């Protein structure tokens, strides 16, 4: 019994030491400069309702305006979150919308509707720590209606 306690004690000491040691390796939590004239908000005819949905559910991972909560200072949690943000920005960066050609904007608009309709976005790992980020069916419809209108406007078929 005494030996088991000693082993458990040393295992805990090793775990604590490893936890402290991994705090040294910190990934870059970046927010590159934003040219407001290039954002999706400036380059589209976005309603206030759609802007509110984007700000609440998308901007943290899909723009250069990420809010980095306190827990992104704790390893290994920050490795996971920084990777998600970098991947999100790579797949679609709302801060750099104006840099996309119209064909790519059209595909991204279609993708927005597809992913929220399928429930793929916002990520299920994001919503528990961000109350209110989960989209209601009405919000999904609002986004899809808006993306359809924007796609029509881009193609010149808007009424």
Instruction: Tell me the DSSP string of 14-81.
Output: HHHHHHHHHTT-----------GGGSHHHHS---HHHHHHHHHHTHHHHSS-----GGGGSTTHHHHH
- The model carries a pTM of 0.85
For residue 46, the Cα-to-chain-centroid distance in whole angstroms is: 19
Q: What is the CA radius of gyration of the chain?
A: 21
Residue 154, pLDDT above cutoff 70: yes
Residue 130, pLDDT above cutoff 70: yes
Residue 24, pLDDT above cutoff 80: no
**Residue where the block lists tokens 């050609």:** 101
The whole-angstrom separation of Cα 81 and Cα 61 is 9
7, 67 contact by CB (below 8 A) = no
What range does the domain containing 54 cover? 2-155
pLDDT over 70 percentage in the chain? 98
Residue 30, pLDDT above cutoff 90: no
Average pLDDT over residues 93-114: 96
Count how many domains the chain has: 1
pLDDT for 52: 96
Residue, of 95 and 23, whose pLDDT is higher: 95
pLDDT for 159: 55
The token pair that represents 3 in the structure block:
């030996």
**DSSP code at position 122:** S
């Amino acid at each position: 019994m005494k030996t088991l306690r000693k082993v458990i004690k040393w295992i805990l000491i090793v775990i604590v030491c490893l936890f402290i040691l991994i705090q040294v390796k910190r990934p870059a939590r970046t927010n590159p400069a934003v040219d407001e004239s290039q954002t999706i908000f400036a380059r589209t005819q976005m309603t206030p309702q759609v802007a509110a949905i984007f700000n609440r559910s998308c901007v943290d991972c899909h723009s250069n305006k990420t809010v980095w909560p306190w827990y992104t200072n704790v390893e290994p949690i920050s490795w996971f979150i920084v990777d998600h943000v970098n991947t999100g920005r790579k797949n679609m960066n709302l801060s750099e919308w104006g840099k996309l050609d119209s064909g790519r904007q059209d595909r991204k608009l279609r993708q927005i509707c597809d992913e929220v309709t399928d429930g793929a976005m916002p990520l299920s790992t994001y919503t528990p720590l961000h109350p209110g980020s989960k989209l209601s069916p009405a919000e999904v419809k609002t986004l899809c209606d808006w993306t359809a209108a924007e796609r029509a406007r881009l193609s010149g078929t808007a009424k």
